[in-house]
Amino acid sequence: MSPLHQALADYLAVRRAMGFKLDRAEKLLGQFVSYLDERGAATVTVEHALAWATAPRAASAWWWAMRMSAVRGFAGYLHTVDPHVEVPPAGIIAYRRQRATPFLYSAADVHALVEAATGLPRPTSAVTYPALVSVLAVTGMRLGEAIGLDTSDFDEDAGTLTVRDGKFGKARLLPLHPTTTKGIRQYLRRRSGLHRTHVSDALFISTAGTRLDHSCVQKTFRRLTRQAGLHPRSAACRPRIHDLRHSFAVATLLDWYRQGQDVPALMPRLSAYLGHTDPKHTFWYLSAAPELLTLAGHRLHTYLDSRP
């Protein structure tokens, strides 16, 4: 192991002890350190950092900045023990990040995705992916949280799922609708019929019986969207697996408005269920759908008319 790779291992260990996951940073910085080793560079310089960050020429400025951000953190750590290490200045790669427009799935869209998943060629995938897509759609979980679930996190009697390692290391308990509880129970029974030997403790498993891989799930989901006939609605609005989470949040808010509920008072509940650290992140969904804006506008109009 080269000195830089050892320094990287130490850096990741220190940051993770502080509660950071750094999965993406570990992958990027591993590539960066290998880049330096190949060029015989003993330390980090701004020149090398900029050359590596912008190496994928077809990538966006946002992705370049993301790569540079990982390097800056590592370089800052190295600089504390070696003043010769150059820390790239903040903003060295300018970019303007545009938030993707959520692809809001209808109930028919979700049904089409589940149907497409049942047709996957491998038996385990044809059982696992319908269950995974369904759970994501009805709980609004992040994909990483769903992949991280163990079978022990499912309490059939209580009808709950426990997310133990959510974003920022936060855990939360998700009450399930009885139909969801039944669906997970059926999935586990069918799964056990396919894998009679010991498999991973993961709730959702791969064809090898191991925990699902994030990138493989993304690739399979893109395949399912095509088979389900779901196409981009614009350059900024394409069907993504994360949009199942957006769709859950928007559908919940729509239901509350149509039922005449006190939405601001209920918003903290939705924030807690989604695992948001701040309700302001949940309020963003109010602008995610024209229907929501219309209902909110009607509510405001009624309120203003009632004032003396």
The pLDDT score that the predictor gives to residue 34 is: 96
SS3 100: coil
Give the CATH number, domain containing residue 157. 1.10.443.10
Say what the pLDDT of residue 35 is.
96
Q: How many domains does the chain have?
A: 3
| E-assigned strand segments in 103-242 | 154-155, 160-163, 172-175
The secondary structure of residue 234, as a DSSP letter, is B
Residue scoring higher pLDDT (228 or 285)? 228
User: Are 174 and 214 within one domain?
Assistant: yes
Report the mean per-residue pLDDT for the chain. Answer: 88
Q: What range defines the domain where residue 43 resides?
A: 3-79
Task: Assess if residue 59 is contained within a domain.
Answer: yes
Residue 102 lies in a domain: no
Q: What's the mean pLDDT in 184-199?
A: 87
Annotated catalytic residues are: 142, 167, 242, 245, 276, 285
Q: Is the pLDDT of residue 73 over 60?
A: yes
Share of the chain above pLDDT 90, in %: 62
- My answer on whether 280 and 217 are in the same domain is no
- The whole-number pLDDT of residue 29 equals 96
Task: Say yes or no: 66 and 113 in one domain.
Answer: no
Choosing from 227, 257, 290, the residue where a domain stops is 227
Query: Domain check: are 112 and 216 in the same one?
Result: yes
Q: Do the domain assignments include residue 138?
A: yes
Q: Decide if 235 is inside a domain.
A: no
Among 198, 227, 256, the domain-final residue is 227
Question: Which tens digit of pLDDT belongs to each residue from 253-308?
Answer: 888 888 888 888 888 898 999 988 777 777 776 665 666 656 555 555 555 556 66
- pTM to 2 decimal places: 0.72
Is residue 97 in a domain? Answer: no
Q: Is 40 exposed, middle or buried (0-12, 13-18, 19+ CB in 10 A)?
A: exposed
Whether residues 128 and 19 share a domain: the answer is no
Using a pLDDT cut of 70, give the percent of the chain over it. 89
> Do 199 and 139 share a structural domain?
yes
- Do 7 and 31 share a domain, yes or no? yes
Final residue before a domain boundary, out of 79, 94, 129: 79
Count Cβ neighbours within 10 Å for each residue of 161-197 and write b for 16 or more, e otherwise.
bebbebeeeeeeebebeeebbebbeebbebbeebbee
Q: Does one domain contain both 163 and 214?
A: yes
Residues 219 and 283 in one domain: no
